[in-house]
Structure 1
Amino acid sequence: MTWLAAAALTLAAPVWAEANADARFKQIYEQEWAWRNGQSGISTSGEAQPNGSRLDNVDAANQQKRLDYWQKVLTSLDAIDPKQLSAEEQVNYAVYRAQVQNLLAAQQFKQWQMPFNSDSAFWSDLNYVLEGENLRTEKDYRRYLDRLGQVPSYFQQQIANMRDGLARGFTVPRAVLDGRDVSIASVAELKDPTQSSFYKPFEKMPASIAPAQAAKMQEEARQAIAGKVIPAYANLLTFFRDEYVPKARTTLAAEAMPDGKAWYRQQIIEYTTLDLSPDAIHQIGLDQVAKIHAEMVKTMQETGFKGSFADFLHFLRTDPQFYAKTPDELLMRTAWVAKQVDAQLGKEFGRLPRQRFAIVPVSPDIAPYYTSGRGGANSYLVNTYDLPSRPLYNMPALTLHESAPGHSLQLALAAEQKGQPAFRREGYISAYGEGWGLYSEYLGNEMGIYKTPYDRFGYLTYQMWRAARLVVDTGIHHLGWTRQQAIDFMTQNTALSDREIANEVDRYISWPGQALSYELGYLKILELRQKAEQALGSKFDIRHFHDTVLQIGSVPLPVLEQRIDRFIADGGPEPDFGDDCAKPTKAP
């Protein structure tokens, strides 16, 4: 071999190794994603995002198969040297490996034995699983009818799993179970199957389906709902009331459960993507609470209120001027905020998604214990239940977080990035997503959305709410706080209503670690922005920074930090979203 040929081979070797590593990695994640898509109830984040393809088997034997499968996937990933991957695939690897690790950990700790919390549950998520609103063809309706027939078996498997959880003390705490059967009873006690939400897709069927065929399927739906779905819910209701609630654990802390210390630490890693101890997080929370409290006192003084901070909170919670009188008034005030935000988006972002969102009231059957609002790519859910617990001064911050530029904008933009693998487009990492939502509230200051001192106080009370979560979550699950201690801490430090506080504390009790993602994600994004501003000086463009954060998509916080470091090193350029993404908008 000539020296020239040898040199050429030497130069080609790293390129060949990179291509080979990329190909092996891509084969792993494409095969696993295809397999995962055929499973039911699998989520990349622990959020209520069940798979919509079918109701799969969720029994213990199949849960073991999942554990074995993901263990093999992780072993395969460990056989790949990330340094041999291309730059793009190195990012994919970091995201994907963390995703698989969290899925595997959930199986190892047998989280499937506790398939609900005070915020979401397999039985109330079932409408999303069945995707009734997306039925267009006769084939779609046939598949929907088939899945209605699977409900009894699916519920029986979930009941068996929960019995196993009861037997080893791995349950939702008894203290937060009161009233959680309402959403089960709303179906179980129906007399007319056509009044069920499961029948709604059959009320107005597409004209492409022949009338006779449509009538036949409508009758089949009525029979399936009356004969299978309603009895399945009735059976679940009996189990819940007579067996689960009486035998549920009387402790609150995650660390009090079997393998609890290790499980809570894993929950922290999953939801924050950071390896922080509960004590460290608790202290960060206390520091932030003190800082935000000082800002709240200053804003209170700007209103001209004469009295103590506690008096001011009582005033905000009880004065009628701060509350809508009808659900429509709350929804319209929310829509007005959203339209004001629309006028400012071009100043903050170079890319906006094509997808638009609707403002939708929360369903009555879950509203009593549901959070104040929740945003998705195509909808922003607003809770209009118990209007005296929904202060108007909180709506600007809530709307920024849940719709645009928060969740609705971020999720829609992520879905339009066709160049990324599906596990990234459709995945959701709580520290990134919730951190971005909280950062979006912060942007309301720069966008001029907080018009009055009361609006600004609402923003600050939402900031305080998320900082207090760091204290309360670790207090409950690590330091042994009682439910009342958590409620008192929230009551003393935020202007949230009593109902909101009780619902939120119950959520933290039954969903360990998730509440930590908001503040820690927000603080990291804000830190990275300040770092970029200081490093780039006059070259810093806020639109380029925001576009860069959104372009990389939902990633662990250390991966986001690496991306912003590169953004700084490159001089703060406009990121490339790819040809398939939304076209640039022009800032005013």
Structure 2
Amino acid sequence: MNRLLIGFVLLAAMAMGGNVAAAASSAAPAERFKTLYEREWDWRQTQFAGADDEDSEGKTADHLPKVDPATQAERTRYWQDVLRQLDAIPVSALPEQEQVNYQVYRNQIEVLLDQQRFHAWEMPFNSDSAFWTNLGFTARKPLRDTESYRSYLAQLADVPRYFDEQIDNMRAGLVRGFSVPQVTLKGRDQSIAEVIDAKGEANLFYTPFKRMPSVISATEQAQLREQALQTIETKVVPAYSKLLAFIRQEYTPQARTSLAARSMPDGEAYYQAQIREFTTLDMSPDEIHALGLKEVARLRAEMDEVIAQVGFKGDFADFLHYLRTDPKFYPKTGEELLMRAAWIAKRVDGKIGEYVGRLPRQRFAIEPVPPDLAPFYTGGRGGPTTYLVNTYNLPSRPLYNLTALTLHESSPGHSLQMSLAAEQDAMPDFRRYTYISAYGEGWALYSEYLGIEMGMYDTPYDRFGYLTYQMWRAARLVIDTGVHHLGWSREQALAFLRDNTALSEHEVTTEVDRYIAWPGQALSYYLGELTILRLREKAERALGGKFDLRNFHDAVLAQGSVPLPVLEQRIDRFIAEGGKSPWPEKDKK
């Protein structure tokens, strides 16, 4: 709001007999807040320009982000100043929607500052994802014109500087005992070695040059391809070779042999900060552990009912062995797995309008996980544009889990939710394009639950697959807190997941290593789902016959990614407003 507009507001207040000072005090905090978050968001986008991962694209740039200690110190100072300015804004003086924005935005800044406080940049990878594999997502993006190709080539030329800064940061982490646990590093260097071993046009980073748009002349295409081959050979491959030597000869031998987050510097505070980041709740590790055990017991009883329903003769362990070893439960080819996933997603398309009022325009593709990532990747991963299905090691990809996986990763899970958030033009960008795990993973896990009401689980085995996925996430509450707070061994964690779910041995191992190397992240899923289920029950009870499930889902989804306490406030308002959808009727299906 500019000065002229503020003036009109004051004049209007005078004309209506209002208090001029009151109007000014109302306008000023909202304007200050908007100016603050817009400026910081633009600055943040510039800071991380060139970064990329499977969930989001960074701002286009001709370089990679700076990650050196001086830059980190600058970011810390900047966000500390932002927090001071937020403290000076009287929240009660903001309009209602801006108060919601304030809560979401403040949570973002506090999480960013927590990561700075613990020097999280000194551990820039885990057993699931890494800065060097994230560059692969950039390499797989289509480029549309000469300028974008030249920016990409400049990014490739910047890889040596970027990797050197990351290596320096990891060395600093090693010195103070802040590293990925050694036990989770086995085989993780494979994705680095593959870049080194792939020569010329076979190299991952040459991918955009294999098919170039016709708007670029043949002469210029040839020049760009030649430059790409030279840059990969002289810049990218040497940087990956240096990184590989560091990981193998220095990082892995010196990485900590302990598992618990609490064993690292200021570890208890670090783990509690991770819990706050990934759950947005102030729960203690002991509370989460106890809740997990309770839910595991409840789900186990439901799983036993399904086993009795199919007439299986044997105990729970026998049934799990049967599921893990009978070939009829597994795809014979990667294409079969992809086609089954596509069929499930298409069936959802025919039902989703009965459960969600406003649907996104963005559509998603279904593709296999890239081979350089697949050995240690999850069974699937969903984002706004792509649902990745892992076709590596097919005997570890049971079909009875595929329905739950597809609902979670595509629609109505991640792809639908993230696309819908990005399409909300009225929301600030810091809400449209950021991801809060407790909300996003909670919604995606709740989407698996919706599969029951949508009639998606066709057989008792599909139903058991749904329950094993629910059990998997409940077990995470126990395992994550068990490892990082109670001092569990890796063997204890593996046994707990193996004994309580029908996940394959491959997935049991990759998942447990993910929890060990990424403290707190695993807690977001089940706590988020439980919150949404509780809020739905609360709304159903309060509204009675006025409760409309589509309207409830619209109220949840219209928020974008928000902390769970903010979501609860929104549902309280939904109830107070009589259960209306937040969307105009014309915007609904």
Match of 2:131? 122
Candidates 50, 63, 68, aligned match of 1:59? 68
**Offset of 1:387 from its aligned partner?**
0.7
Match of 2:588? 584
| Residues 43 and 294 (structure 1), Cα distance of their counterparts in 2 relative to 1, 3 Å cut | farther
Q: 1:72-103: CA deviations, max 9, x gaps?
A: 11111111011111111111100000001100
**Offset of 1:134 from its aligned partner?**
3.5
Asked if structure 2 preserves the Cα contact closer than 8 Å seen for 1:282 and 1:474, the reply is yes
**Offset of 1:10 from its aligned partner?**
5.2
Deviates more, 1:180-189 or 1:132-141: 132-141
- Return the alpha-carbon distance in structure 2 between the equivalents of residues 475 and 105 of structure 1: 23
**Offset of 1:127 from its aligned partner?**
2.6
Match of 2:200? 193
1:210-225 mapped onto 2 (5 Å cutoff): 210-225=217-232
Asked if structure 2 preserves the Cα contact closer than 8 Å seen for 1:117 and 1:172, the reply is yes
- Return the alpha-carbon distance in structure 2 between the equivalents of residues 221 and 556 of structure 1: 43
**Offset of 1:337 from its aligned partner?**
1.0
Candidates 95, 101, 111, aligned match of 1:102? 111
- Return the alpha-carbon distance in structure 1 between the equivalents of residues 57 and 211 of structure 2: 26
Alignment-mate amino acid for residue 568 of structure 2: E
Match of 2:370? 363
1:75 and 2:79 are equivalent in the alignment: no
Candidates 128, 133, 141, aligned match of 2:141? 133
Q: Secondary structure at the match of 2:132?
A: coil
Alignment-mate amino acid for residue 101 of structure 2: N
Alignment-mate amino acid for residue 313 of structure 1: L
- Return the alpha-carbon distance in structure 2 between the equivalents of residues 572 and 273 of structure 1: 25
**Offset of 1:428 from its aligned partner?**
0.3
RMSD: 1.8
1:565-576 mapped onto 2 (5 Å cutoff): 565-576=572-583
- Return the alpha-carbon distance in structure 1 between the equivalents of residues 502 and 273 of structure 2: 32
- Return the alpha-carbon distance in structure 2 between the equivalents of residues 9 and 120 of structure 1: 60
1:503 and 2:507 are equivalent in the alignment: no
Q: 1:275-316: CA deviations, max 9, x gaps?
A: 000000000100100000000000111111011011111111
Deviates more, 1:201-210 or 1:86-95: 201-210
Candidates 139, 164, 168, aligned match of 1:160? 168
Q: Secondary structure at the match of 1:26?
A: helix
1:39 and 2:47 are equivalent in the alignment: yes
Alignment-mate amino acid for residue 252 of structure 2: V
Asked if structure 1 preserves the Cα contact closer than 8 Å seen for 2:139 and 2:208, the reply is no
Candidates 268, 272, 294, aligned match of 2:279? 272
**Offset of 1:39 from its aligned partner?**
1.6
1:172 and 2:180 are equivalent in the alignment: yes
Q: 1:240-285: CA deviations, max 9, x gaps?
A: 0000000000000001000100000000000000000000000010
Asked if structure 2 preserves the Cα contact closer than 8 Å seen for 1:48 and 1:120, the reply is no
Unaligned runs of 5+ in 1: none
Deviates more, 1:139-148 or 1:446-455: 139-148
**Offset of 1:528 from its aligned partner?**
0.3
- Return the alpha-carbon distance in structure 2 between the equivalents of residues 298 and 13 of structure 1: 67
Match of 2:120? 111
Q: Secondary structure at the match of 2:141?
A: helix
Alignment-mate amino acid for residue 110 of structure 1: H
Candidates 423, 426, 429, aligned match of 2:436? 429
Match of 2:94? 85
Q: Secondary structure at the match of 1:552?
A: coil
Asked if structure 2 preserves the Cα contact closer than 8 Å seen for 1:41 and 1:49, the reply is no
| Residues 421 and 134 (structure 1), Cα distance of their counterparts in 2 relative to 1, 3 Å cut | farther
Asked if structure 2 preserves the Cα contact closer than 8 Å seen for 1:419 and 1:578, the reply is no
Q: 1:160-199: CA deviations, max 9, x gaps?
A: 0000000000000001000000100010223x22111211
Asked if structure 1 preserves the Cα contact closer than 8 Å seen for 2:50 and 2:59, the reply is no
Q: 1:88-147: CA deviations, max 9, x gaps?
A: 11111000000011001101100000000011000000133x365231111111111111
Match of 1:474? 481
Unaligned runs of 5+ in 2: 1-12
1:296-375 mapped onto 2 (5 Å cutoff): 296-375=303-382
Match of 1:524? 531
Asked if structure 2 preserves the Cα contact closer than 8 Å seen for 1:464 and 1:493, the reply is yes
**Offset of 1:350 from its aligned partner?**
0.9
Match of 2:4? none
Q: 1:45-78: CA deviations, max 9, x gaps?
A: x997573434021111111111111111111111
TM-score between the two structures when normalised by the length of structure 2: 0.95
**Offset of 1:339 from its aligned partner?**
1.2
- Return the alpha-carbon distance in structure 2 between the equivalents of residues 531 and 43 of structure 1: 41
Q: Aligned pairs, how many? A: 575
Asked if structure 2 preserves the Cα contact closer than 8 Å seen for 1:174 and 1:248, the reply is yes
- Return the alpha-carbon distance in structure 1 between the equivalents of residues 231 and 50 of structure 2: 26
- Return the alpha-carbon distance in structure 2 between the equivalents of residues 66 and 111 of structure 1: 13
Asked if structure 2 preserves the Cα contact closer than 8 Å seen for 1:182 and 1:366, the reply is no
- Return the alpha-carbon distance in structure 2 between the equivalents of residues 43 and 540 of structure 1: 43
Asked if structure 1 preserves the Cα contact closer than 8 Å seen for 2:292 and 2:477, the reply is yes
Match of 2:150? 142
Alignment-mate amino acid for residue 194 of structure 1: E
- Return the alpha-carbon distance in structure 1 between the equivalents of residues 17 and 231 of structure 2: 66
- Return the alpha-carbon distance in structure 1 between the equivalents of residues 59 and 195 of structure 2: 20
Asked if structure 1 preserves the Cα contact closer than 8 Å seen for 2:123 and 2:179, the reply is yes
Asked if structure 2 preserves the Cα contact closer than 8 Å seen for 1:41 and 1:50, the reply is no
Asked if structure 2 preserves the Cα contact closer than 8 Å seen for 1:40 and 1:50, the reply is no
Q: Secondary structure at the match of 1:374?
A: strand
Match of 2:9? none
- Return the alpha-carbon distance in structure 2 between the equivalents of residues 498 and 156 of structure 1: 36
1:12-23 mapped onto 2 (5 Å cutoff): 12-23=20-31
Match of 1:30? 38
Asked if structure 1 preserves the Cα contact closer than 8 Å seen for 2:360 and 2:423, the reply is yes
Alignment-mate amino acid for residue 409 of structure 2: E
- Return the alpha-carbon distance in structure 1 between the equivalents of residues 457 and 375 of structure 2: 28
- Return the alpha-carbon distance in structure 1 between the equivalents of residues 435 and 107 of structure 2: 12
- Return the alpha-carbon distance in structure 1 between the equivalents of residues 336 and 312 of structure 2: 26
| Residues 95 and 137 (structure 1), Cα distance of their counterparts in 2 relative to 1, 3 Å cut | same
**Offset of 1:317 from its aligned partner?**
0.5
Alignment-mate amino acid for residue 401 of structure 1: H
TM-score between the two structures when normalised by the length of structure 1: 0.95
Alignment-mate amino acid for residue 133 of structure 1: K
| Residues 460 and 42 (structure 1), Cα distance of their counterparts in 2 relative to 1, 3 Å cut | farther
Match of 1:445? 452
Asked if structure 1 preserves the Cα contact closer than 8 Å seen for 2:54 and 2:134, the reply is no
Asked if structure 1 preserves the Cα contact closer than 8 Å seen for 2:55 and 2:383, the reply is no
Deviates more, 1:52-61 or 1:156-165: 52-61
Q: Secondary structure at the match of 2:558?
A: helix
- Return the alpha-carbon distance in structure 2 between the equivalents of residues 131 and 83 of structure 1: 46
Q: 1:413-457: CA deviations, max 9, x gaps?
A: 111111111110001000000000000000000000001100000
- Return the alpha-carbon distance in structure 2 between the equivalents of residues 305 and 366 of structure 1: 37
- Return the alpha-carbon distance in structure 1 between the equivalents of residues 504 and 454 of structure 2: 27
Alignment-mate amino acid for residue 119 of structure 1: D
